[in-house]
Amino acid sequence: MFDEDLIRKWLDEGTINHTQADKMQTDLVQYKQEHRSKKQIIAFSTIGAILIGIGTILFVASNWERIGNNIKVFLLIGSTVGIHYTGYRLKYETQKYPRLGSALVLLSALLFGASFFLIAQIYNVNANNSTLVLIWILGVFPLVYGYRSASIAGLCSLLFYLWIGLLYMEKTDLSELVTIWDLYLISGIAVYFIGTLHGLAEKVRYAEKTFKFMGLQAVLLALFIHTFKLGEYEVEKIIPVIYAISGILFLAVLLRKPLRTGPGSFQADMSISILALLMAGVTLTTIYIPGSEKTYMIFFNIIFLGLLTLLLYAGYSTEDLGVINTTMFWFVLLIFARYFDFFWKLLPRSLFFMLGGLVLLVISVVLERKRREFKARFSGGKR
């Protein structure tokens, strides 16, 4: 999208005349106002829909003992179906309030899960059950494609991570096979890979960024946890195989992606592929040449820092501010964590906090300046 600076540049070069420049500036102002208004509508609609859902659940919960089981089920199912149908009508049939309709469809997806858990509780089914979460995912996942909804894709990703956590707690033998953080790292790579696959087809590309974002956050969180001292690091032989297969699948897809859809986010995708292959090597080495806790801590810090560097380069190369902002956030978190590790016991408490505050202020100024530089370059000079 062009901006005022680019319009002035074209005017100075003689590419456009003053009349065209005035028209373009007027259209640009209107576009920005409309874009800002759309964001506000989406925000208010989503928050309002969520509040209605919370109110519905709280109403049933507050009158739980006084309402019969059949009435409870009717209220829960009826509210879910009713809100979903209303969202469908607003988005597709009347088409007067498509954003409100999308928010109500998302609300119905949330109510579907809440209702499912409450109904399970009514009939004395254990609510802390990974199977119920899996049914929730399977129930709402088709809405991602039926309504072309990126928000429901994000919800499904969150539910997937919740299901992984509950499954890990239920299946005690899993803890002997893989650590919870390796499991989340593998899960994050899988979700990111799903996003990469969505980028190959034009019809489902709307969900690409959401799946990639949710996958990347899980990858960075799990890898960040690995940078701490977590005790002895052990995995079974199947884990490096899973990492290796993930990396190879990524490479197989990435070799085709630039030819079909252009380079796009190729570099960020390649970073995740490299991470998967690195983890395959690390876990394989762990099995045959186990190292000390400190060795793995140092090694994972290097991997994490390397991944952030690759992502920052990818964000800059592809002019993706989302990737840049995410990378900068985790850079600050890593620096803050290592600062606590190294200086907490070495410095007096007052000096520790003063020095830490000064370091964070300097980092925030540098990162904000860099972020503005990136944004200015990507937008043609405007800050």
User: pLDDT per residue over 42-80, tens digit each?
Assistant: 555 566 666 666 666 666 666 666 777 787 788 778 878
Give the residue from 67, 152, 30 showing the smallest Cα distance to 102: 152
Question: What are the E-state strand segments in 28-107?
Answer: none
Long-range contacts of 51-55, Cβ-Cβ distance < 8 Å, separation of 24 or more? 52/83, 52/107, 53/83, 53/107, 53/110, 53/111, 53/114
Average pLDDT, integer, range 223-233: 82
Give the count of beta carbons closer than 10 Å to the beta carbon of residue 186: 21
What pLDDT does 164 receive?
A: 93
Looking at the predicted structure, is the pLDDT value of residue 32 above 60?
no
Average pLDDT, integer, range 313-332: 79
Average pLDDT, integer, range 83-103: 76
Task: For 251-299, write each residue's pLDDT tens digit.
Answer: 888 876 654 444 446 778 888 889 999 999 988 888 888 878 788 888 8
| Distance, C-alpha 377 to centroid of its chain | 25
Residue 155's pLDDT band (boundaries 50, 70, 90)? very high
What pLDDT does 64 receive?
A: 62
What would the two tokens of residue 274 be? 């490299």
% the chain with pLDDT above 90: 18
What is the distance between the alpha carbons of residues 133 and 127, in angstroms, rounded to a whole number? 9
Task: For 178-195, write each residue's pLDDT tens digit.
Answer: 889 999 999 999 999 999
What would the two tokens of residue 325 be? 């902002």
Give the count of beta carbons closer than 10 Å to the beta carbon of residue 104: 28
What predicted TM-score, i.e. pTM, was given to this entire model?
0.75
SS3 readout for the chain: CCCHHHHHHHHHHCCCCHHHHHHHHHHHHHHHHHHHHHHHHHHHHHHHHHHHHHHHHHHHHHCCCCCCHHHHHHHHHHHHHHHHHHHHHHHHHCCCCHHHHHHHHHHHHHHHHHHHHHHHHHCCCCCCCHHHHHHHHHHHHHHHHHCCCHHHHHHHHHHHHHHHHHHHHHCCCHHHHCCHHHHHHHHHHHHHHHHHHHCCCHHHHHHHHHHHHHHHHHHHHHHHHHCCCCCCCCCCCHHHHHHHHHHHHHHHHHCCHHHHHCCCCHHHHHHHHHHHHHHHHHHHHHHHCCCCHHHHHHHHHHHHHHHHHHHHHHHHHCCCHHHHHHHHHHHHHHHHHHHHHHHCCCCCHHHHHHHHHHHHHHHHHHHHHHHHHHHHHHCCCCC
Mean pLDDT of the chain: 77
- Least confident range of 79-88, 219-228, 244-253, 352-361: 352-361
What pLDDT does 170 receive?
A: 86
Looking at the predicted structure, is the pLDDT value of residue 103 above 60?
yes
Q: Which residues contact 338 (CB under 8 A, 6 or more apart)?
A: 301
Residue 344's pLDDT band (boundaries 50, 70, 90)? low
What would the two tokens of residue 191 be? 């979700």
Residue 16 has phi, psi (to 5 degrees) of -130, 160
